[in-house]
Structure 1
């Protein structure tokens, strides 16, 4: 009896812990595919779980930080969802690759054209963004999740250092240190590789040409020898007929 009661109490306690901890993990978050290096471009996914048992998520709005605006934001098409990218004028224009940019993306909105994210499921919303700022370690986004029953959940609360996670935390993208080559490194590597391939092709072509020339010369010499042998055979044959 004591053992069964202890086991039952343990199960109840475990269920309570899971129930209390679940909301902390079931919020809108953002993670990069690979790394999100400062000064580079990255593909990121906004992960949206459905927290309701009786409604589907039908809309997601992601607001971009205005203190670190991004000049390039491109969404990836998702079946069953339409997407709208909103741009706004910048109070302080950006200079990117020598060009002045006075507009940046301030919001991306996904709207379900079907059932949306049903209970018990989650959805990833991918974006290609850049160039990432070099003067901060993270980007804080504000997300608004709308359900089919018209309920709206605002994931907009910043995480304060030394404090517990807020009830509705804003998605935060951590930025890694800038790479040595930056986003130009891949292009430089590709150019070097192309140059190497071109040089190799040229060498192979030259080698093939030399081989062809050598083969032609050998065949020429063989032809001359065969021809001379034929002439000699003809002369000898003529002499034999005369003697006969």
Structure 2
């Protein structure tokens, strides 16, 4: 009976998953570090590589390695990246992290399909996209659930009606003030008239005196 039970356990479908979480779980966030945890499911072999297919909006050039098992390296693929190295111990989960330049701003559940390869050549394909309202698929792809993108600030409100134009330098209907040249000319004529009057008065006085002496 014990042997039969063991056989049934080994024959049952694997329920291990690849989990993902982000330090900045918001769509459109920049310089986001995503940590992956690939659960070990093989009783005979250790994990030796993890290949990730990036969701739309993220390119391989936008990814850099932030954390990985000892001696594991990152290489870029046309549709994503792979982290690989010496096989881990049997039963040891693979934990690695990458920093992404920017998450897509239009997705709150971007999937990261992952192919997990063991040292015996076995490949666990976590590539099926879960659908809302349906049972979880047998090999669900890890999905990063994030908040919607931050609202874009609206443009500044229209400015108030512009101030009335400044009055012109010369106010309308203002009394005309004579210029310096005009004033000076009038003063000169007044002076000349005054001198003529004085001269005429002197001449008249001299004539009157002469007449009185006669």
* Alignment TM class, shorter chain as reference: 0.5 to 0.7
Partner of 1:151: 122
CA distance in 2, matches of 1:153, 1:123: 13
Matched, 1:107 2:80: yes
CA distance in 2, matches of 1:46, 1:77: 10
Matched, 1:69 2:58: yes
Query: Aligned match of 1:45 in 22, 26, 35?
Result: 35
Structure index of larger Rg? 2
Partner of 2:205: none
8 A Cα contact 1:50 1:117, kept in partner = no
8 A Cα contact 2:27 2:149, kept in partner = yes
Partner of 1:28: 18
| TM-score calculated relative to the size of structure 1 | 0.52
8 A Cα contact 1:117 1:123, kept in partner = yes
User: What is the 5 A alignment of 1:174-213?
Assistant: 174-179=145-150
Partner of 2:165: none
CA distance in 1, matches of 2:119, 2:13: 22
CA displacement at 1:178 relative to structure 2: 2.9
Matched, 1:121 2:92: yes
| CA-atom RMSD in angstroms | 2.8
* Structure 1 runs not aligned, ≥5 long: 1-17, 89-105, 183-244
8 A Cα contact 1:50 1:118, kept in partner = no
CA distance in 2, matches of 1:163, 1:39: 28
CA distance in 2, matches of 1:23, 1:153: 9
**Bigger proportion of residues as helix:** 1
Partner of 2:160: none
- How many residue pairs get matched? 142
